[in-house]
């Protein structure tokens, strides 16, 4: 059976992993074909690919978009989508005498495009997280019959921070996605299997006490309900805008993920743990999420050039030590985990 370009185009669409990817890739390929060939993606011909040159891609597409103010990273993303479509055309073997290796590696690749021109989300600090939760609890909401929306939004952002799950995926979690397991330490956990970005399965383990807190506030006797179905993604984004203006620091729901990654790294200094927490495929991506600490005393040079006399710690009273420990959340967490590992704390 003879296959035409429109069939290959539909096969390519069906091969993409998620609705979001389909939307982005279709838009990119449509834009490219329009600007370079003056055609729709499903109507391109062998002649178009055979005669395509790097100068066409550079002058008609890359340079035109740059002059329109489009960022390099965005243009590079467009070309990635186009190469994906061309690979499918090659796989289906509908055009002969096309040098696909040259097309993919040289004609449709512009190594001059930068990828560091994208601003990553600001990370929320633990102190700001607590302020945000207080802001949400004290806020007045429409149709809040039980006066619980504040508590629910506060617990939602706490959940997103502590799990690193993105906002869209969080709103698609159902109660049925939780399963109860027992860890090696005999503690009970609620295992959460959630589909996150790129249709990847992401597994999180919540302490049973935390799950119970969620259940007590949100559960309505139906395991097929969405956990956060009473709340709104759009409203949450608006609340972040309001809070950002209040504290003069631009934050978004994704700031919870960046903040959690930063906090976890500085508590553990374990980049692999942070990579697993964020469910990244490579460490380079994880490193972009970890924001530098602003405290000069925490910088490498300050630490290495300091001449500390650690015996001075022995002179502090118990009350002074406890005050210092509880003033730094990351210190609390580090000491608590070390004590558990040393079996000084058993519960």
Give 184 or 211, the one with higher predicted confidence: 211
Nearest to 165 by CA among 192, 183, 135: 192
pLDDT at position 118: 47
Q: Can you list the alpha helix ranges (DSSP code H) found in 139-202?
A: 149-163, 167-170
Contact by Cβ (8 Å): 118, 61: no
As a whole number of angstroms, the distance between CA 271 and CA 340 comes to 21
Mean pLDDT estimate for the chain: 87
Q: Using one digit for the tens of pLDDT, what is the confidence trace for 298-327?
A: 555 455 455 678 888 888 888 888 888 887
The CA-atom distances, in angstroms, between 107 and each of 1, 35, 50, 62, 327 are 31, 15, 11, 12, 57
Q: Using one digit for the tens of pLDDT, what is the confidence trace for 10-22?
A: 999 999 877 878 8
Whether pTM exceeds 0.85: no
Cβ neighbours of 239 (radius 10 Å): 19
Q: Using one digit for the tens of pLDDT, what is the confidence trace for 80-115?
A: 999 999 999 999 999 988 999 999 999 999 888 876
Give 144 or 37, the one with higher predicted confidence: 37
> What are phi and psi for residue 25, nearest 5 degrees?
-70, -40
Give 264 or 59, the one with higher predicted confidence: 59
pLDDT at position 178: 94
Mean pLDDT is lowest, of 40-49, 81-90, 183-192, for 183-192
pLDDT at position 296: 56
Q: Inform me whether the pLDDT recorded for 269 exceeds 50.
A: yes
Q: Using one digit for the tens of pLDDT, what is the confidence trace for 137-156?
A: 999 998 888 889 999 999 99
């Amino acid at each position: 059976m003879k296959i035409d370009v429109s069939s290959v185009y539909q096969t390519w669409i069906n091969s993409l992993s998620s609705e979001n990817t389909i939307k982005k890739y279709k838009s990119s390929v449509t834009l490219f074909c329009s600007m370079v060939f003056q055609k729709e993606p499903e109507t391109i011909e062998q002649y178009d690919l055979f005669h395509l040159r790097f100068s066409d891609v550079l002058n008609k597409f890359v340079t035109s978009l740059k002059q329109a103010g489009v960022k390099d990273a965005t243009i590079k993303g467009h070309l990635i989508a186009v190469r994906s479509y061309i690979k499918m055309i090659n796989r289906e073997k509908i055009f002969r005498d096309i040098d696909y290796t040259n097309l993919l590696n040289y004609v449709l690749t512009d190594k001059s495009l930068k990828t560091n021109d994208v601003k990553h989300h600001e990370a929320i600090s633990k102190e700001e997280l607590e302020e945000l939760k207080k802001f949400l609890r004290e806020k007045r909401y429409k149709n809040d019959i039980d006066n619980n929306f504040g508590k629910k939004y506060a617990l939602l952002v706490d959940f997103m921070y502590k799990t690193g799950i993105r906002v869209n995926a969080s709103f698609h979690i159902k109660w049925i996605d939780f399963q109860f397991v027992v860890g090696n330490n005999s503690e009970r956990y609620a295992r959460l299997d959630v589909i996150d970005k790129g249709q990847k399965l992401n597994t999180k383990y919540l302490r049973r006490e935390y799950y119970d807190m969620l259940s007590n506030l949100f559960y309505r006797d139906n395991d097929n309900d969405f956990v956060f179905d009473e709340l709104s993604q759009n409203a949450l984004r608006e609340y972040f805008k309001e809070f950002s203006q209040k504290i003069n620091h631009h934050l978004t729901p994704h700031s919870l993920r960046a903040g959690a990654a930063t906090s976890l790294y500085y508590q553990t200094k374990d980049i692999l743990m942070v990579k697993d927490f964020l469910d990244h495929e490579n460490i380079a991506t994880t490193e972009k999420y970890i924001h530098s600490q602003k405290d000069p005393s925490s910088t490498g040079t300050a630490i290495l050039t300091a001449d500390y006399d650690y015996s001075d710690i022995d002179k502090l009273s118990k009350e002074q030590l406890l005050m210092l420990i509880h003033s730094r959340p990351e210190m609390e967490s580090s000491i608590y985990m070390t004590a558990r590992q040393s079996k000084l704390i058993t519960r």
